[in-house]
Amino acid sequence: MAEGRSLSEVRALVGASHGITDLAHKLHFYDQWAPNYDQDVAALQYCAPRLAVDCLTQALPDPPHAALILDVACGTGLVAAELQARGFSQLHGVDGSPGMLDQARARGLYQCLSLCTLGQEPLPSAEGTFDAVLMVGALSDGQVPCSAIPELLRVTKSGGLVCMTTRTNPSNLRYKEALEATLDRLEQAGAWERLVARPVDRWELATSELEVGPGTSDSDGFISGIIYLYRKQAAAQAVGGRPGA
């Protein structure tokens, strides 16, 4: 893919990515996109990594250097860059795209990076390993299925934190509803407790006039998103231990 795309070209590209619902096609798309991903999402003023890390760090009780963190669907490492800026240094990452992992590896911020397609295979970590787990930007059709959410719980320590984000623009609302039903079921089962569900109006620039909210235009409108933060309950080991449970 060519460098130096215009904003309209970036919007068309990202809009196309939102429309891919087949996982194999999506991963291939991300492999090809990886070298230009950072500059393209910067052009869209994509703020989810910063906002998610802000949300997580406000709730973590330990000093940053003491926390072991897993970045799921880590992509090129935008979340790791935000974490490092706040003093976190014990970072592990997983992603299903080899191209994205190459870019993440080049940042030099992760102690461990693994190829893992969450939803098709378990995370490559033991139960109760991490103080916090983040998944920013991969909760949508064609990426991580809602049935994989218990895997995030499985690898989180008792009392640890799980931070997730998703888009709330029209094309992702059906997925968001299914996601929230999954999150609520796990809370009702005593697996975790919700600490935060924070809507964000200016998530990133909309890719088309169909995606903007009322009263905005395609040229200046933003799509919305939401940040969720949960704390794993002490008795949640068995509840969170089975993908799709």
User: When comparing pLDDT for 212 and 218, which is higher?
Assistant: 212
Counted residue by residue, the chain has a size of 245
pLDDT at 9 over 70: yes
pLDDT at 181 over 80: yes
Helices (H), ranges, 63-202:
78-85, 98-107, 149-154, 173-188
Token code pair at residue 106: 């080049």
SS3 of 178, please?
Answer: helix
pLDDT at 1 over 90: no
Question: What percentage of the chain reaches a pLDDT higher than 70?
Answer: 90
Instruction: Give the pLDDT band of residue 151 (cuts 50, 70, 90).
Output: very high
Tens-place pLDDT, residues 16-57? 888 898 989 999 999 999 999 999 999 999 999 999 999 999
Helices (H), ranges, the chain:
7-18, 23-33, 37-43, 48-59, 78-85, 98-107, 149-154, 173-188
Determine which of 11-15, 52-56, 148-152, 189-193 has the lowest per-residue pLDDT on average.
11-15
Please give the pLDDT value at position 213.
56
Task: Return d(Cα 23, Cα 226) in angstroms, integer.
Answer: 23
Please give the pLDDT value at position 226.
97
pTM comes to 0.91
pLDDT at 2 over 90: no
pLDDT at 192 over 70: yes
The owner of tokens 């460098």 is 3
The owner of tokens 């000093």 is 63
